Chains A and B, each alone.
Chain A
């Protein structure tokens, strides 16, 4: 299956437009640019998990910014995907504390199971693997983030499979403003 591509002339849904309007009210009137990061998050959720140049232009137009003001920001922050991605982007933490508890092994395991290489997407289009730096969940390492959800303590086969099975069952859809995903297990019982 091909990764989703954004339509040539994207438009924000009414729900997204309402959310953007709400966000704009949080900042002084002459400081619309402050909403750039939250609006990029909305755009990425709306348009298939990545922000194409066309989507970035739409963000610029919506906020009254020059396109370059959006490009320089979208390329600075690591959360914005600048290329098409699979249905689920698995962001694997590779930093020290996760490495100490087996993130290298986890990455290899996920590559093996999904058939994707880090930086790429699995042949079935389900999973994109991405290595990221510290996710601030070091006590529950190794950790993977998928959209808004943290999957923790992935040092057992069981936990890894549970994560993948859950993801395989999820239907991809735009999430606005942000999906209710519930607390990571570590925070439920801690």
Chain B
């Protein structure tokens, strides 16, 4: 079992309260940060090599250093707690169990960026978590860690939680900012980037919950020490949310670098595939990333064991690799119909497209429609090429990455499971039997 930097005390009784959290070393990172200059805090995060834990994997310290700092203009740190990428459920866990960890990270981060008001934008469905956070924030105010002149440092910060209203697109940072301003969640054209014109057109940094929480152990141990954990440019620990056909789905904090095979099969982690079945495929980083068949998720095309790192999971590009993404790890057993699953994901993206960009608005609709007829035995061979072509026409032609998120799963499913799509066309009767699944030439009922 590797080190746990975020969830070490997660099961301590009462750790969601200020007093217990403080007793277990809580808020030391804030005390430390306030004795440093803001730029020194940014420097520590840069040194740590921390990469954004929301999905894109962009270096957090670098994102912070891009923030524009014009004199006399307020700037904001906004936490992206709009967790809604299918397969991902780590932030909900972190916030419910360790609300003070996020608050501590928000204070240190806001200090580093010079923000005097910060927001946690949480998806509307998690209203009970919003309450947990508000309670913890009130405790932090009472203890002098929020509000005027924190710990006598002269630095003041207000922190608020803001609920969304049910829209996946608000996980995209500019859609999130629109939503925080009380508007529809339509992503903005970039540039200008939020670092220059974000919330209320002020310089803004938007970071994922886990990224902000990770600032706490980074400050406590120092950026250099943190960077020693992990493999290469995948430093530190990361939360993975494992779901699908696993014996032990759940949230696991791993030192980056654990072999995928160990993560799936070891009793320490997911404990193998349920019901004694075989693994068929994995979507390793949330529904948007390319699906891989068993052979390619366990080993790279070159035969190297695949590791739970940014680099190893993307080894082979999209031809034979995938992405670490948000860490939403969806395992599918041998009875899973890839066509049905791909249709389900396409329906999701069609439902969640904000409708601004024609390629996405229309393209996701066509993907859902054509996949639906393939799944239900009314498709043609041409349809298989059609969905690949539609996916290609969405990709790169939209304001925000929802286009890619919708296109990649379809392209990858056809790339790796083309014979299964073809079987749906050639054997419509068999394919539409309840529970029927293509496995080579076998039909399982």
Contact = CB atoms under 8 A, between A and B. Distances in A.
A95 B128 contact: no
A41 B88 contact: no
Nearest to A183: B96
A148 B127 contact: yes
Contact of A73 (B89, B184, B250): B184
A100 B341 contact: yes
Contacts of A136: 83-84, 88-89, 91-92, 123, 125-126
Contact of B250 (A97, A135, A139, A150): A139
Interface string B237-267: 0000111110001110000000000000000
A190 B96 CA distance: 11
Nearest to A45: B127
A34 B165 CA distance: 12
Interface string B316-352: 0000000000001010100010001100110010011
A138 interface: yes
A187 B97 contact: yes
B12 to A, nearest CB: 13
Contacts of A148: 127-128, 131
Interface in B160-175: 160, 162-168
B86 interface: yes
B377 interface: no
B25 interface: no
Interface residues of A, number: 50
B179 A96 contact: no
A100 B184 contact: no
B343 to A, nearest CB: 10
Interface residues of B, number: 60
A89 interface: no
B89 A137 contact: yes
Contacts of B123: 136
A166 interface: no
B351 A133 contact: yes
Interface stretch (A3-11, A75-83, A117-125, A157-165): A75-83
B185 interface: yes
B330 A97 contact: yes
B163 A149 contact: no
A111 B168 CA distance: 26
A185 to B, nearest CB: 12
Given A31-B181, A138-B328, A149-B128, A96 B348 contact: yes
B127 A96 contact: no
Contact of A37 (B164, B283, B340): B164
Contacts of B109: none
Interface string B74-109: 000000000111111101110011000000000000
B367 to A, nearest CB: 14
Contact of B244 (A77, A101, A149): A101
Given A137-B89, A139-B89, A190-B251, A41 B124 contact: yes
A113 interface: no
B180 interface: yes
A181 interface: yes
A39 to B, nearest CB: 9
B66 interface: no
Give the interface centre of B84, B89, B91, B167 by most chain A CB atoms within 10 Å.
B89
Given A76-B167, A190-B251, A138 B162 contact: no
B241 A139 contact: yes
Contacts of B328: 138
Nearest to A140: B249
B243 A97 contact: yes
A69 B184 CA distance: 9
B183 interface: yes
B425 interface: no
Interface in A147-190: 148-150, 177-178, 180-183, 186-187, 190
A32 B244 CA distance: 42
A36 interface: yes
A92 interface: no
Contacts of A40: 165
A139 B245 CA distance: 10
Contact of A95 (B86, B180, B242, B332): B86
Interface string A12-31: 00000000000000101001
14 contacts: A37-B182, A38-B162, A73-B183, A76-B167, A96-B287, A96-B348, A97-B86, A100-B330, A101-B244, A101-B245, A139-B249, A148-B127, A181-B128, A183-B96
Interface of A: 26, 28, 31, 33-38, 40-41, 69, 72-73, 76-80, 91, 94-97, 99-101, 132-141, 145, 148-150, 177-178, 180-183, 186-187, 190
Given A31-B181, A33-B183, A138-B244, 11 more contacts: A38-B162, A76-B167, A76-B185, A78-B165, A79-B125, A99-B344, A100-B330, A133-B351, A134-B287, A139-B243, A148-B127
Q: Which 9 residue pairs of A and B lie closest in terms of their CB atoms, listed nearest first? A: A77-B165, A79-B166, A33-B182, A36-B182, A78-B166, A138-B243, A139-B249, A26-B160, A76-B184
